[in-house]
Amino acid sequence: MAEIKIQEVAKQFGKTHALHSVDLRIEDKEFLVLLGASGCGKTTLLRIVAGLETATTGEVWIGDRRVDHLAPKDRGIAMVFQNYAVFPHMTVFENIAFGLRMKKVHNAEIDKRVKRTAELMHIENLLARYSGQLSGGQRQRVAVARALATEPDVILMDEPLSNLDALLRMEMRTELKSILAQSQTTTIYVTHDQVEAMSMADRIAIMHQGHIVQATSPVEVYRNPATRFVGSFIGNPPMNFLPAKNLGNGVFEVGGTRFKGPDVNVDSLEFAIRPEDIVVGQGEMQGRIRVVEPLGSHIQASCEVNGTLFRVVVDSNSVIKTGDMLALEPTADRIRWFDADGKLVPV
């Protein structure tokens, strides 16, 4: 097992900057998720750690070894890809054993490790089958088992569940988190799915335009986004944002209502609150309902506050309809404030 240090790693493709001097440390046995939209640089960063891409500048360390000059096979890593990469001409047993045979591990040890990882992935009854006889979920289990069998220092996963249907993806998410916790292998997991990131990660590193904009626990990312981008990207529905006019002495006018905010010398800030942190039916702020979306456990209502879209979460027993006016009271200690650059302003 080993920690990973990424130091001032940058990557250019011609004139395009894919990564801008990224610094990141992944602790030994930590499960870190790189989260971001397509094109943010998360897969490029993973491929640099893996040795499949060369950094323009910077260093990568695994444990006490600098590895950015080493071939992938010499870095002590294993990878699991989005497309499974299961060999069709091999049985499940031989697929799992492939990496071990490349390392010239003795047959008795191969047999032991294959059976152990197959049991861990609940595919011990499939060892004699070929990939054409497996479902997508089973093939992904084989790919993970093959990675675990080599007992790597680090496992790198590039959107490994994205090809699965929603229910299977949820089941695999739970199992994969449990399995990696048992194996205690340092893991970097790339995804654009915030539910995967929030439910699986020990820590989330959110990427945007080649930068890591915040790296912390899922709860901290959700409750205290460091930037407006993080607040708008994390959460479904995302944070609400309204312009806030500074009236002085830390008082701001937001949607026709006054709120206590940070005492700063600027004309305006942006007020932010999550939809579930709003008490509906009381308060001075008013919102007219534009869309009502019953979602079983709750109702999501999209309102208009001073011409701006403003979403709230309402109890599923509430009787509301399009056109209704709602009284809204944002919970004071859940309000966040962002400056003109989109950075969090402390109160």
Tens place of pLDDT for every residue, the chain, 347 residues?
Answer: 589 999 999 999 999 999 999 999 999 999 999 999 999 999 999 999 999 999 999 999 999 999 999 999 899 999 988 777 788 899 999 999 998 998 889 999 999 999 998 988 889 999 999 988 988 888 888 988 898 898 898 999 998 888 777 877 888 888 888 888 888 899 999 999 999 999 999 999 999 999 999 999 999 999 999 999 999 999 989 999 999 999 999 999 998 899 999 999 999 999 999 999 999 988 899 999 999 999 999 999 999 998 999 999 999 888 899 999 999 999 999 999 999 999 999 98
DSSP 8-state class, residue 343: B
Are 246 and 185 found together in one domain? no
Pairing type for strands 186-191 and 154-158 reads parallel
Q: Which amino acid is at 1?
A: M
- This model's pTM is above 0.75: yes
Output the pLDDT for position 178.
Answer: 86
Q: Evaluate whether 326 touches 289 at the Cβ level (below 8 Å).
A: yes
- d(CA 177, CA 39) in angstroms, rounded, equals 26
Are 150 and 244 found together in one domain? no
Are 222 and 242 found together in one domain? no
Evaluate whether residue 13 is within a structural domain: yes
Last residue of a domain, one of 214, 232, 250: 232
Last residue of a domain, one of 182, 201, 232: 232
Evaluate whether residue 343 is within a structural domain: no
Output the pLDDT for position 121.
Answer: 85
Are 261 and 224 found together in one domain? no
Output the pLDDT for position 181.
Answer: 84
Q: What is the largest CA-CA distance in the chain?
A: 76
Are 72 and 164 found together in one domain? yes
- d(CA 10, CA 180) in angstroms, rounded, equals 29
Element (H, E) at 139: helix 136-149
Per the structure, the count of domains in the chain is: 2
Pairing type for strands 77-80 and 154-158 reads parallel
Q: Please name which of 324, 337, 222, 199 lies closest in space to residue 314, comparing C-alpha atoms.
A: 324
Output the pLDDT for position 294.
Answer: 94
CATH value at residue 258: 2.40.50.140
- d(CA 263, CA 257) in angstroms, rounded, equals 17
The per-residue DSSP string of 183-216 comes to: HT-EEEEEES-HHHHHHH-SEEEEEETTEEEEEE
- d(CA 256, CA 327) in angstroms, rounded, equals 12
- d(CA 328, CA 313) in angstroms, rounded, equals 11
- d(CA 127, CA 106) in angstroms, rounded, equals 19
Evaluate whether residue 344 is within a structural domain: no
Output the pLDDT for position 17.
Answer: 94
Are 114 and 198 found together in one domain? yes
Last residue of a domain, one of 208, 232, 256: 232
Are 198 and 248 found together in one domain? no
End-to-end CA distance of the chain: 41
DSSP 8-state class, residue 347: -
Are 109 and 142 found together in one domain? yes
- d(CA 231, CA 166) in angstroms, rounded, equals 25
Are 260 and 197 found together in one domain? no
Are 51 and 111 found together in one domain? yes
Domain range enclosing 197: 4-232
Output the pLDDT for position 335.
Answer: 97
CATH value at residue 10: 3.40.50.300
Evaluate whether residue 197 is within a structural domain: yes
